[in-house]
Amino acid sequence: MFNKIIKRGQRKVAKSDVDLAHAAQGRSSGSVSTSNIIINHASRPGAPPHSSQQQQTAAAGVPARSPLGTIENLPAFRDVLALERQSLFLRKLKICCYQFDFCDTLKMAREKEIKTQTLVELVDFIQSGSGKITEANQEEMIKMISLNIFRCLPPASHENTGSENIDPEEEDPYLEPSWPHLHLVYELLLRYVVSSDTDTKVAKRYIDHSFVLRLLDLFDSEDPREREYLKTILHRIYGKFMVHRPFIRKAINNIFYRFIYETGRHSGIGELLEILGSIINGFALPMKEEHKLFLARALIPLHKPKPVAMYHQQLSYCITQFVEKDYKLADTVLMGLLKCWPVTNSQKEVLFLGELEEVLEATQNVEFQRCMVPLFRQIARSLNSYHFQVAERALFLWNNDHIVGLIAQNRNVILPIIFGALEKNILSHWNQAVHGLTINVRKMFMEMDAELFEQCQRQYMEREFRSKELEEQQETKWQQLAAAAAAQGG
């Protein structure tokens, strides 16, 4: 509790410390640049901005921070002539370039309200399709959107507390203070992207690779509302701008690599996987080698990081989509799961067993035979787990008709592997539910092939007898050694 109090206090300082003043958003090759954004640290003493900085900002056409009371209400679009609407649109964009401190709700309240109303009007104007925006205004709009959404994200929770062991599921979600304006800016961008009036040939000059990369950076925001907007917008960009598709896939791939092999922390993995789930669903057959490599090098290794439970549902959907698209990938997925299989984390193992069932449901016999030996060795270990949820989940595999069919076709290989685990559960497992389920599975094998069952039972009893005999021989030798040592000592 003390760490949470410290975390919240520091989060607020971290957010209010950084105040993005207005500066020029230079543009080269159609990309949005923030190289001129000025960051003022309120906690650090310093001289006021030099006049040369102010002149540079003014020359770039972006308004500098407004003194109190200079932002004025502009007329509504419906109150001016159609010829004047483009000019009015530009003036409203300039009002929306002003930035405010939302950590102090009372500070510049009137100006904040004017900006809110202006953003609402801009969203309505784009959504209504009452007037096609000029190319110049589209560029200025993307500049305004960039100025508002592209910012330094606050430090993550563990960076504030100094602790790496905080469970993200136990944390209170961080909420962005500037959301009253930010969500309207995101809504404006979304309406612009999905609008039928938006010409992709023109828009791709402003929504370029640089813009997409910076959108992807924002997926690390801890505010779930922001990530939800980003997910929707990026998905729409992927759908509308075909030229960006390979780039977006590669950029998401790189985020996954960084998360898996470097940081182990990222807030937006689940949202990115949701986008990919829809993308994978649209892959054409035969599947490209690029997509298969993505499965093997990025998606399967995403099972390794500690916070996998946070995004496992979305990851499992993506994996299953691959197998349903191309059943020949099933053994690749199953062997990949076995390589990542948790050793000490029981809750994670329960998730893996659930995903294993979904993959097996889409697996054909040929692919199943390639990996069934190591697969059922692992299932046998799970059957004997002292954590009853793990053992129970493993036994639930026999409730699936398709999996039972695969097992029946290959019972000569599978039953000898797991027979010992079933017998051990019946003899010694502490949980009654696991005990009952094991008896049902054992009975199923007996009815499936009585001769094979008796053979496995005979082999099991012989192994147990030899094991007991060996144990008795070792005990006798230890007793002899102990007696000899006692005689020498006497």
Query: Concatenated DSSP letters for 105-173?
Result: TTTTHHHHHHHHHHHHHHHHHHHHTSSPPPHHHHHHHHHHHHHHH--PPPPPHHHHH--S---GGGSPP
Retrieve residue 81's tokens: 């002539």
Please list, in sequence order, all residues whose beta carbon lies within 8 angstroms of the beta carbon of residue 44, skipping any fewer than 6 positions away. Answer: none
- Separation between Cα atoms, residue 19 and residue 23, nearest integer Å: 12
Please list, in sequence order, all residues whose beta carbon lies within 8 angstroms of the beta carbon of residue 81, skipping any fewer than 6 positions away. Answer: none
31 forms beta bridges with: 28
**Residue-level pLDDT at 181:** 94
**Residue-level pLDDT at 45:** 33
CA atoms within 13 A on the CB side of 222: 20
**Residue-level pLDDT at 104:** 82
- Separation between Cα atoms, residue 444 and residue 449, nearest integer Å: 9
- Within 10 angstroms of residue 288's Cβ, the number of other Cβ atoms is 11
**Residue-level pLDDT at 143:** 97
Task: Decide: pTM greater than 0.85.
Answer: no
Coil/strand/helix, residue 69? coil
Give yes or no for a contact between 142 and 207, defined as CB atoms under 8 angstroms apart. yes
Per-residue pLDDT of the chain (490 residues; tens, 9 = 90+): 444 444 444 443 333 333 333 333 333 333 333 333 333 333 333 333 333 334 443 333 344 444 444 678 899 998 999 889 999 999 999 999 998 888 887 888 899 999 999 999 999 999 987 768 999 999 999 999 999 999 998 887 655 444 555 555 566 778 899 999 999 999 999 999 999 999 999 999 999 999 999 999 999 999 999 999 999 999 999 999 999 999 999 999 999 999 999 999 999 999 999 999 999 999 999 999 999 999 999 999 999 999 999 999 999 999 999 999 999 999 999 999 999 999 999 999 999 999 999 999 999 999 999 999 999 999 999 999 999 999 999 999 999 999 999 999 999 999 999 999 999 999 999 999 999 999 999 999 999 999 999 999 999 999 988 988 999 999 999 999 998 998 887 5
**Residue-level pLDDT at 70:** 65
Retrieve residue 140's tokens: 């200025």
**Residue-level pLDDT at 420:** 96
**Residue-level pLDDT at 171:** 66
Q: Could you give the angle at the alpha carbon of 440 between the alpha carbons of 436 and 445, nearest 5°?
A: 145
For 240-301, give the DSSP string.
Answer: H-GGGHHHHHHHHHHHHHHIIIII---TTHHHHHHHHHHHHHT--SSPPHHHHHHIIIIIGG
Angle between helices 365-383 and 346-361 (to 10 degrees): 160
461, with CB counted inside 10 A (0-12, 13-18, 19+), is exposed
**Residue-level pLDDT at 158:** 53
